């Protein structure tokens, strides 16, 4: 589907007229994917750039009312800048078999699909975008499953992609059942943005299936408080009521969410929806994303502005992801330390001296 920049949606309650769809179809996640926007014309002449684009009709409605979020899904000529690299986290170097990234001692990343329902313009894995569909033959996972079976040190499997929840219930369950049968795997996590960009996918049927595979955790990619709509909240409620612990992961983006008030509002909205703020990431230096980059101080300033000034549950870790793994970066509150005493700075800048 092609959309012009003049197509503005003002209501989040009804399907926009441009889609000419019955309400029941609008609520169908398969319809949302099949009718995704694949091309946007007349915005910085990007129609001539042939940059991969995919936006669900639902999420298009959301971003029309949020200039900040619009930047995260609409292609820009700034993406043509060569600054950055294709695989900044060196995932391919840590991939012993296809679909597996084994960077940490006791856990692996299992990339089960290369399809997402929305293409974020700053995506770490933009190199693997697939404009087709999410369904793949399950035998393509065999080598990865064999790797997990034979490496008994693996106790934690993070399923990601692409987005795992764009797949059918049957294929998701097939994989969960296979992983759950591996005795040394203690927990499974799913990394997804579907509850945010395609909340119609979080159906009672899907949730009923997922809850059979506890301990099952879900890491959800949130960017901005405008994403937490009535539809998104309904999806989060279904997941939380099924006993699935929910955590948030947010990428710090210049001009989108790199200010304290936006982040504080997001963290508070997440908690009211039973999502624990987990990580704020420094934007990875992927090719074509320089216009989103901030310096490390920007993240530290946000953590400083949250810690002590709001609930501890609302303060995530600030993470710089690297080729060697995630590094948690914290404000340095140790002012002075010797053998007998340590002086610390409190959230309100007062100095406290304690016996060390």
Write the CATH number for 125: 3.20.20.70
The predicted pLDDT at position 160 comes to: 96
Segments of the chain with pLDDT less than 70 = 1-20, 41-50, 82, 130-134, 356
Residue 257 and residue 120 share a domain: yes
Q: Would residue 334 count as lying in a domain?
A: no
Q: Would residue 248 count as lying in a domain?
A: yes
CB-facing half-sphere around the CA of 3: CA atoms within 13 A: 23
- In terms of residue numbers, what domain contains 67? 2-75
The predicted pLDDT at position 130 comes to: 65
Q: Residue 24: which residues within 8 A CB-CB, separation 6 or more?
A: none
- Tell me the C-alpha to C-alpha distance, in Å, between residue 258 and each of 69, 132, 245, 284: 12, 33, 26, 15
Residue 123 and residue 57 share a domain: no
Mean pLDDT score of the chain, rounded to an integer?
A: 89
The predicted pLDDT at position 6 comes to: 37
Which among 75, 108, 128 is the end of a domain?
Answer: 75
- Tell me the C-alpha to C-alpha distance, in Å, between residue 156 and each of 105, 159, 267: 10, 10, 26
- Tell me the C-alpha to C-alpha distance, in Å, between residue 355 and each of 229, 290, 337, 343, 348: 49, 46, 10, 9, 21
How many domains does the chain divide into? 2
* CB-neighbour burial class of residue 57 (10 A; exposed 0-12, middle 13-18, buried 19+): buried
Residue 147 and residue 25 share a domain: no
The predicted pLDDT at position 334 comes to: 78
Q: Would residue 84 count as lying in a domain?
A: no
């Amino acid at each position: 589907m092609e959309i012009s920049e003049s197509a503005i949606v003002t209501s989040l309650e009804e399907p926009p007229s441009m889609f000419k769809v019955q309400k029941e179809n609008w609520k169908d996640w398969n319809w949302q994917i099949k009718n995704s926007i694949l091309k946007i014309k007349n915005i910085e002449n990007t129609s001539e750039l042939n940059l991969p684009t995919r936006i669900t009709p639902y999420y298009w409605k959301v971003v029309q009312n949020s200039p900040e979020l619009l930047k995260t899904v609409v292609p820009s000529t700034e993406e043509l800048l060569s600054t950055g690299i294709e695989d900044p986290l060196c995932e391919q170097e840590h991939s012993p078999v296809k679909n597996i990234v084994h960077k940490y001692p006791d856990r692996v990343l299992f990339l089960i699909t290369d399809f997402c329902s929305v293409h974020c313009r700053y995506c770490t894995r933009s190199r693997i975008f697939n404009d087709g569909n999410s369904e793949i033959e399950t035998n393509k996972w065999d080598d990865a499953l064999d790797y997990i079976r034979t490496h008994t040190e693996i106790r934690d499997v993070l399923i990601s992609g692409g987005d795992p929840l764009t797949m059918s219930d049957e294929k998701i369950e097939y994989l969960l059942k296979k992983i759950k049968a591996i005795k040394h795997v203690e927990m499974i996590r799913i990394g997804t943005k579907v509850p945010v960009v395609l909340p119609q996918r979080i159906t009672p049927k899907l949730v009923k299936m997922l809850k059979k595979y506890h301990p099952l955790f879900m890491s959800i990619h949130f960017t901005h408080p405008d994403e937490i709509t009535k539809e998104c909240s309904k999806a989060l409620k279904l997941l939380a009521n099924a006993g699935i612990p929910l955590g948030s992961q947010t990428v710090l983006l210049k001009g989108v969410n790199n200010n304290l008030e936006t982040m504080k509002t997001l963290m508070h909205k997440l908690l009211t929806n039973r999502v624990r703020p987990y990580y704020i990431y420094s934007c990875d230096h992927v090719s074509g994303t320089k216009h989103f980059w901030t310096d490390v101080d920007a993240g530290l300033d946000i953590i400083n502005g949250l810690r002590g000034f709001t609930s501890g549950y609302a303060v995530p870790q600030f993470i710089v992801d690297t080729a060697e793994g995630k590094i948690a970066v914290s404000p340095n509150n140790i002012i002075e330390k010797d053998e007998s005493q340590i002086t610390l700075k409190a959230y309100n800048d007062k100095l406290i001296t304690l016996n060390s």
